[in-house]
A and B are shown apart, each in its own frame.
Chain A
Amino acid sequence: MSIRAPKDAYELGIGMVHQHFKLIDVLTATENIILGEEGKLNIKAATAKIQAICDKYGFDVDPNKKIYNMSVSEKQTVEIVKVLYRGADILILDEPTAVLTPQETDKLFMVLRNMKADGKAIIIITHKLNEVQEISDRVAILRQGEYIGDLITANTNAQEMTDMMVGRKVVLNIERPEPLNTPSPRIVIENLSVVDAEGVQKLKNVSFTANSNEILGIAGISGCGQKELLEAIAGLQPVTEGSITYIDESGASKSLIGMDPREISNMGIALSFVPEDRLGMGLVGNMDLANNMMLRSFRKNSTPFTDRKDPTHLAETIVSNLEVKTPSIDTPVRKLSGGNVQKVLVGREIANSPSVLMTAYAVRGLDINSSYAIYDLINAQKLKGVAVIFVGEDLDVLLQLSDRILVLCDGQVSGIVDGKTADKNEVGMMMTKLGGEDANE
């Protein structure tokens, strides 16, 4: 029996919830769920059936709500209900918690337990080992597309699973080294507001300071303004109000408002940015490694021609220093795995000897080994005195790595906490409610 199309899978009772949702924004939950069904259209009956599924497992979703009005967690619920509606007995969930707050994750796990009790088989793909331990009965471990083995979750621990994933002993702690020099303000942001091209307010009155010799973590559920914040600093997002000031080593300050990336670099400010969209923004997927290195340096010489020698040399250095797995430096970067793509991008950005390094979801989709390699690189930059702004989605990582954590909620600063003392639940609540108050109701 082979499965050639999603339709075949549905007929066999297998349904999958993808990490990136496959929903049509302008349709309601019900319309999305019955999309692709053959036969006579009966929305009322479908809505009733959907309501019954929701009640049975404890889902909280309004079948008549349009997708574009929904939060990420609601959209995910719709995806799961869709799969159940089609009669799936085997559910595959790909990184379902990546976009959820801790509280929403708890709710999802509760529903999953209900489904398990109902006799469904659930496969959950995750990179967070604490979730594996919390929700799973058995765990299968893959390494580079190879099946390594499966374990009874109750009889194993995070260390054993990690060792199997990596293939050797690894230390699981993320370091937070003490800075070598006293942090001093590097980027000062005051009352920053951003309204995007569609007229939606993305940032409102954001004020904070990013210091040198420090990692400033930024936490928040997806879409709460992290992207716009970093792009505003990088000169890619027009600012409606407020100021962004860069303070150099000697204490002189320069305003970054209204500057594009080229003007910022012409002012002598080494601002490095590892954007969320690696192949769509940070790199050019169809170009080889050397050409991608050239993105930052191609203007350096004064002739009308590009110099390929230095970028080629840089590509070779990055491949050997960061252990990038690639057939050659002439390979288009889109053919590399996610971890290697990220090493190439981070490698290029830190090769610039930055004074500010911004990273967005630097370890998303990366295996443990690559993730730790990236954390090490970021820590090394901090020790060099760089002001690091680290946007992350995994609160455990943020709490272990960051010196301070700025929590965003709906485009506003919900609070700034100390990474050493902050509590995960406290941060989680600040992510959903400004200041974290009233979140216990």
Chain B
Amino acid sequence: MNSKVKEPLFHVVKRDDITRAKAWAIRLVAILAALVVCGIITFALTGDNPLSVYATMVTGAFGSARKTWVTLQNVAILLLISLAITPAFRMRFWNCGAEGQVIIGGLAAGACMITLGSKLPNAVVILLMIITSMLAGAIWALIPGLCKAIWNTNETLATLMMNYIATQIVAYFIIVWENPKGAGKIGIINQKSMVGWLPEVGNKYLLSIIVGLAITAFLYVYIYYSKHGYEVCVVGESERTAAYVGIKVKRVIIRTMILSGALCGLTGLLLVGGINHTITTTIVGGQGFTAIMVSWLAKFNPIAMIFTSFLIIFLGRGAGEIATVFELNQSFSDILTGIILFFIIGCEFFISYRIVFNKKKGGNE
């Protein structure tokens, strides 16, 4: 019989197992490869020395004490959002609504500051801000959660759509509360009285960082050592197994979405009450989606998320600095970030699979 089948040059084999060291080695190689490619592209397009470009990235993130603190604060916020979606993701509930859950939490905090700022003592306002922001985030996540639990609707679509509603609600209230009138924005809330401004711990950046680390520790224990965390994992792996051992699947979905949304709301509180003291429709800046990548890259492990969120923020801030220092277009730094992320995500393929090259053979066997 004639062979019509060509022997391909290589084929892909699923790896059985890979040691942690080897996996990290692959990731390291990927980052180095990404830097080389970025260097070539930088040189080809701009003629600038790639090494000094990279040095600028580091300066951009850590060039001064202030820059370092801002970097760490940004890491904390991205980390918090990533942590917030993680319980849902471990349940295989693809919560793409962090953006909306954060902003609605921020709106709740802002509303307390604006409407109650002159009526109640500062401590009470802050307490109400904490409660309402977490409640608002929880409700925003609960709605798609209930739809999924009761009617088995697609959670990705529902959570995505909730983002748009949240943004439009914020846009509406910005007009209601605009200050000064006709400015089309709210401006700094309670600039003089500073009511509802979250207290500074040490310096104005540290509060978010402390909250971020505390939530990391909490979620680590919750996911790996609590009964709730175990139930979340079983429901995510197989709802049939969960029912078989008497886990109430609907209750777990609802409970987990409330937790996920409340943590998002808490992040919104930090953004509005602690960092910006105002609210805009772009205050979350797409981090609700970046968080999905951070969480995935960390394999849903809260501790690993510290590193992945750091990596993303570092790249972003470094790339921004390049654009300013070398007077390049902002898009250029986006290109570099894109290349690096492509390599980092792409290398996960080589962690799960390996390439086997076929030996050259003379004709048919």
Interface residues of A (CB under 8 A from B): 1-4, 8, 11-12, 234-236, 260-265, 273, 275, 277, 280-287, 291, 294-296, 298-299, 304-306, 335
Contact = CB atoms under 8 A, between A and B. Distances in A.
Given A1-B3, A8-B5, A287-B233, A280 B228 contact: no
A299 B247 CA distance: 10
Interface stretch (B56-64, B180-188, B235-243, B270-278): B235-243
B241 A296 contact: no
Interface in B333-351: none
Complex A-B, nearest 5 residue pairs according to Cβ-Cβ distance, in ascending order: A262-B246, A261-B246, A284-B237, A281-B240, A295-B245
Nearest to B358: A2
Interface in B226-283: 226-230, 233-234, 237-238, 240-241, 243-248
29 contacts: A1-B3, A1-B5, A1-B364, A2-B7, A4-B5, A11-B4, A260-B246, A260-B248, A261-B243, A262-B245, A262-B248, A265-B246, A275-B244, A280-B238, A282-B244, A283-B241, A284-B233, A284-B234, A284-B237, A284-B238, A286-B237, A287-B233, A287-B234, A294-B230, A295-B245, A298-B227, A306-B225, A306-B226, A306-B227
A304 B364 CA distance: 64
B352 to A, nearest CB: 14
Nearest to A285: B237
A8 B247 CA distance: 47
Contacts of B1: 1, 12
Contacts of B4: 11
A273 B5 contact: no
Determine which residue in B4, B227, B241 has the highest number of CB atoms from chain A within 10 A of its CB, and name it.
B241
Contacts of A4: 5, 8, 11
Given A287-B237, A306-B230, 6 more contacts: A1-B364, A2-B5, A2-B7, A12-B1, A284-B234, A305-B225
B365 interface: yes
A285 B364 CA distance: 41
Interface residues of B, number: 28
Contacts of A306: 225-227, 229-230
A4 B3 CA distance: 12
Given A286-B237, A295-B234, A304 B244 contact: no
Contacts of B238: 280-281, 284-285
Contact of A305 (B227, B244, B245): B227
A299 B1 CA distance: 63
A8 to B, nearest CB: 5
A2 B5 CA distance: 8
Contacts of A281: 238, 240-241, 244
Interface string B11-49: 100001000000000000000000000000000000000
Contact of A273 (B226, B229, B244, B248): B244
Contacts of B247: 262
Interface in B307-327: none
Contacts of B230: 291, 294, 298, 306
A43 to B, nearest CB: 27
A220 to B, nearest CB: 22
A1 B364 CA distance: 6
